[in-house]
Amino acid sequence: MDRRLRVVGAQRDDGILRLRVTGDLDILGVARFRERLSVLLAPPVRGVELDLRGVTFCGAAGVGELLRLRRHAVAGEFDVVLVAVSDPVRFVLGLCGAGDWLP
C-alpha cells in the first residue's frame, strides 16, 4: 500500500482553497506538504479548508506543520478550517491540546 503524502488543491471562486491530504503526514510528508502549500497559497487565496480524512499517520513533524499553518491563520494571513480529519489526526491533535480546532 502506497502511503506517500499527496496534497490535491482546488480553489473556489470565493478565494477558498480546498486541500485534500492523503497518506502519511510524517517527517518525509511534511516537506511535500510545505512544498505544495507554497505553490497553492498564492493570491487571491484568502482561506483554506483542510480535508485530512485520508491521512493514515500523523507524527510529531506533521502536528508541528499543522500547528504552524494554524499560527499563520491566527496571525491574520488567511483562515484555516479543518473540514474532516482521520482518527490518527484527531488523536494526535487531541494529545497536543488542539482539540478545539477539530471539526
pTM above 0.95, yes or no: no
Q: What does the pLDDT read at residue 99?
A: 85
Each residue's pLDDT tens digit, 43-56: 788 899 999 999 99
Please determine, for residue 1, whether its predicted confidence score (pLDDT) is greater than 70. Answer: no
Q: What does the pLDDT read at residue 13?
A: 85
Q: What does the pLDDT read at residue 44?
A: 83
Each residue's pLDDT tens digit, 70-98: 888 888 778 899 999 999 999 999 998 88
| Mean pLDDT of the residues in the chain | 90
Q: What is the mean pLDDT of residues 28-54?
A: 90
**Which residues neighbour 40 within 8 Å (Cβ) at sequence distance 6 or greater?**
7, 9, 11, 17, 19
Which three cell numbers, joined as nine digits, stand for 73? 491563520
